[in-house]
Amino acid sequence: MQLRELTKAEEEIMRVLWRLEKAFVKDVLAELPEPKPAYNTVSTIIRILEKKGLVGYTAYGKTHEYYPLITEEQYKRFEMDQLMTNYFDNSLQKLVSFFVKDRKLSLNETDEIINLLNRKGDDPQKP
């Protein structure tokens, strides 16, 4: 399956499905903030996600219970790869430099990032 960037509406629906693990359209709708979209809007977005291969369902007669086919972690990884490729030339140094300059990270925060990166380089299984 080829992941593609989600629209804001699609991502909002996916976040609900990741949290609930499986849900009917009415359950997803209940989790969305006010002002709530129309039931048909949510249903349409879920069907689009299904066509994209991101959501599956179990049919109970005419009713469908939907569930995510990718994990939130898989999507985060995809988004991070897109960010690195599109904005930082796949350079971790450029990414960290951006955060140090833009977010005005303290010396301790910068040190923490460097230590995390060094540990990750030593052991690919470490988070």
CA dihedral 30, 57, 80, 85 (to 10 degrees): -130
Confidence at residue 103, expressed as pLDDT on a 0 to 100 scale: 74
CATH architecture, range 8-68: Orthogonal Bundle (1.10)
Dump pLDDT digits (tens) for 47-77. Answer: 999 999 999 999 999 999 999 999 999 999 8
Can you give the pTM of this predicted structure?
0.75
Is residue 25 within 8 A of residue 42, CB to CB? The reply is yes
The yes-or-no verdict on residue 45 having pLDDT over 50 is yes
Q: CA 74 to CA 106: how far, in whole Å?
A: 30
Segments making up each domain of the chain, as ranges: 8-68, 72-122
